[in-house]
Amino acid sequence: MGKNTNRVKTRYTDKELKEFKKLIDEKLEEAKKQLEFYLTQLSETANNPDSKVKGLDDGNGTAENERLSRMALRMKKHIQHLENAKLRIQNKVYGICRVYGKLISRERLLAVPHATMSIEAKEKR
């Protein structure tokens, strides 16, 4: 890019995108493990006759299944957001605010790697 410091940066460099991809891959691995945990817990409670009987007595079994289902659904959505972020990296449009078209701050992307809006755009929403 040269040494022209007056030039406005319109996208993250390939090196920066590679770093973000690594972070997203780590987050994806973690999210998939968490999803697997929720699904295993759901499966275990569904296949455990004791939990069904106990659930009829006090409603805890049903409430726990609903909680696990909600958590699993949230994790699936989170995984999809991360996968979409990887596509944006592949297409070299990662980190560009979908509202203003400017770069989302590096700090924001490190905190929320699947962000599609800058803090300014998010606050105006």
Assess whether pLDDT exceeds 60 at residue 90: yes
Q: Is residue 59 part of a domain?
A: yes
Q: Is residue 95 part of a domain?
A: yes
Q: Is residue 7 part of a domain?
A: no
Q: Is residue 6 part of a domain?
A: no
Q: Is residue 8 part of a domain?
A: no
Residues 5-63 have pLDDT tens digits of 557 788 999 999 999 999 999 999 999 999 999 999 988 877 766 555 454 545 667 88
The span from the first CA to the last CA of the chain, in angstroms, equals 34
Q: Is residue 5 part of a domain?
A: no
Give the model's confidence band at 117: pLDDT under 50 very low, under 70 low, under 90 confident, else very high.
very high
Q: Is residue 9 part of a domain?
A: no
At 88, list the tokens.
């944006």
Domain extent for 34: 14-124
pLDDT of residue 55: 46
What span, in angstroms and rounded, lies between the C-alpha atoms of 66 and 45? 11
CATH number of the domain that residue 62 is part of = 1.20.120.910
pLDDT of residue 60: 63
**Across the strands, what pairs with 96?**
103
Q: Burial, 31: exposed, middle or buried (Cβ in 10 Å; 0-12, 13-18, 19+)?
A: buried
At 30, list the tokens.
């973690």
At 47, list the tokens.
């296949």
Q: Is residue 76 part of a domain?
A: yes
At 43, list the tokens.
């499966």
What are the backbone angles phi and psi of residue 104, rounded to the nearest 5°? -75, 140
Long-range contacts of 108-113 (CB under 8 A, 24+ apart): 109/20, 110/23, 113/20, 113/23, 113/24, 113/27, 113/82, 113/85
Assess whether pLDDT exceeds 50 at residue 1: no
- Specify the number of domains making up the chain: 1
